[in-house]
């Protein structure tokens, strides 16, 4: 899988993709992540990627020309027949989810467009396949959502995690939250690990975990159970 990220601030990604699972995935050759400076696709001497909005208003708007050139160049760089997906990261997009992350895995080449400033030239929307938001709140830039989406996708790539079985019981898989987890010591400041987890009976433990997952989901995210 290849993920290309188009951004005005490529330096923001250096440390994020150089540690933990992102680093391991890249070193194993399981995923290729490249960050591209949008200003490299501008044509004027000032490398202008934004401008004042028509009709007035506060802030600057990202220009359509450099984004268009970046998308076309990155699409053309992929091998013939590779399934591609171009995603615009914007608060107005479809809310990102674990299900969406899994759907993204079907594409061998993903291009993420990270916004900045006041917003995008509206014509940019016609250049992408879909728009994605990571939540109903506003950030200062689209670089952080690009990191979130990339991380959520990459950890699902086969071979990235040491034990892929750990993905099965995670929160939001099958629309249910993960059951409570404990480790040593068995007792700490009068707080004890549930006895069933110490009994050594896999069937009893599994039944307890499933029940607790449902109880937790019903209490914290009942909307998930409706799905």
**Is the domain of 181 the same as that of 133?**
no
For residue 77, which phi and psi values (nearest 5 degrees)?
-80, -15
pLDDT of residue 58: 85
**Is the domain of 25 the same as that of 90?**
yes
Comparing 29-38, 159-168, 206-215, the range with the smallest average pLDDT is 159-168
pLDDT bucket at 125, cuts 50 / 70 / 90: very high
pLDDT of residue 226: 85
**Is the domain of 140 the same as that of 175?**
no
Domain final residue pick, 102, 127, 154: 154
**Residue 168 pLDDT exceeds 70:** no
Would you say residue 161 lies in a domain? no
CA distance 31 to 91: 27
Q: Which domain range does residue 53 map to? A: 2-154
**Is the domain of 111 the same as that of 197?**
no
Domain final residue pick, 154, 188, 205: 154
CATH code, domain carrying 191: 1.10.1270.20
Could you tell me how many helices (H) and strands (E) the chain has, helices first?
A: 6, 10
**Residue 118 pLDDT exceeds 90:** no
How does the average pLDDT of the chain come out, rounded?
93
**Is the domain of 150 the same as that of 180?**
no
**Residue 167 pLDDT exceeds 80:** no
pLDDT of residue 169: 58
């Amino acid at each position: 899988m290849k993920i290309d990220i188009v951004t005005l601030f490529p330096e923001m990604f250096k440390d994020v993709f150089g540690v933990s699972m992102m680093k391991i995935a890249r070193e194993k050759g399981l995923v290729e992540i490249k960050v591209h400076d949008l200003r490299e696709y501008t044509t004027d001497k000032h490398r202008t990627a934004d401008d004042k909005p028509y009709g007035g208003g506060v802030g600057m708007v990202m220009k359509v020309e450099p984004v268009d050139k970046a998308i076309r160049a990155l699409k053309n760089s992929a091998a013939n027949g590779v399934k591609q997906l171009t995603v615009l990261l914007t608060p107005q997009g479809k809310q990102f989810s674990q299900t969406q992350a899994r759907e993204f895995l079907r594409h061998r080449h993903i291009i993420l467009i990270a916004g900045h400033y006041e917003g995008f030239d509206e014509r940019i929307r016609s250049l992408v396949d879909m728009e994605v938001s990571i939540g109903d709140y506003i950030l200062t830039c689209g670089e952080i959502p690009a990191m979130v989406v990339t991380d959520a996708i990459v950890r699902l790539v086969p071979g990235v995690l040491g034990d892929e079985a750990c993905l099965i019981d995670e929160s939001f898989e099958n629309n249910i939250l993960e059951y409570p987890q404990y480790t040593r010591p068995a007792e700490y400041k009068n707080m004890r690990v549930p006895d069933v987890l110490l009994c050594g009976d896999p069937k009893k433990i599994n039944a307890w975990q499933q029940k607790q997952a449902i109880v937790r989901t019903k209490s914290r995210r009942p909307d998930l159970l409706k799905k």
